[in-house]
């Protein structure tokens, strides 16, 4: 049985509407997954540092933003209430917990020292400062 061969190469203009539809859908997906989506949280610009050790064991985290508001367990808290919460967290940890301070780099040093003293009073023996890695790696000074 012989089939007729009437298929010819299309030499006319392409219809652009399917391509535009797919492009529109891709643009919508990109826009929905971009930074236009609101991410809840507090903006804290941590200072840059490299080579700091991590934490092993239980931690208690306190954050301080640029307006000097204190955050404990994702809630705004007053300094007077923070002492009792830190005491409860130190007791609940069982073993010695470490206070991790996530402090914005514009917060004055006396605020950081006051929080470290508050943690020591609550029974937390060690205080560490959260940092972020440098954006540009440091150059090696040794060698040629």
What residue segments make up the domains of the chain, in order of their start? 43-144
CATH topology of domain 43-144: Nucleotidyltransferase; domain 5 (3.30.420)
- The vertex-129 CA angle with 127 and 131, nearest 5°, equals 160
Using DSSP's 3-state secondary structure scheme, residue 124 falls into coil
Q: What is the pTM of this model?
A: 0.63
pLDDT at 108: 92
Q: What is the pLDDT of residues 14-63, one digit of tens each?
A: 788 889 999 999 998 887 776 655 656 778 888 888 887 778 888 888 99
Q: What is the pLDDT of residues 119-143, one digit of tens each?
A: 999 888 888 888 888 876 556 565 5
Give the span between the Cα atoms of 59 and 57, in whole angstroms: 7
Give the span between the Cα atoms of 120 and 106, in whole angstroms: 23
């Amino acid at each position: 049985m012989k089939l007729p061969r009437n298929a010819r190469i299309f030499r006319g203009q392409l219809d652009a509407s399917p391509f535009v539809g797919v492009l529109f859908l891709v643009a919508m997906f990109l826009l929905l997954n971009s930074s236009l989506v609101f991410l809840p949280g507090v903006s804290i610009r941590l200072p840059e540092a490299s080579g700091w050790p991590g934490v092993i064991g239980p931690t208690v985290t306190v954050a301080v933003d640029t307006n000097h508001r204190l955050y404990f367990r994702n809630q705004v808290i007053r300094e007077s209430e923070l002492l009792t919460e830190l005491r409860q967290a130190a007791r609940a940890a069982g073993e010695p917990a470490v206070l991790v301070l996530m402090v914005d780099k514009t917060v004055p040093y006396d605020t950081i020292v006051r929080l470290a003293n508050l943690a020591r009073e609550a029974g937390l023996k060690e205080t560490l400062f959260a940092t972020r890695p440098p954006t540009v790696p440091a150059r090696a000074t040794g060698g040629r």
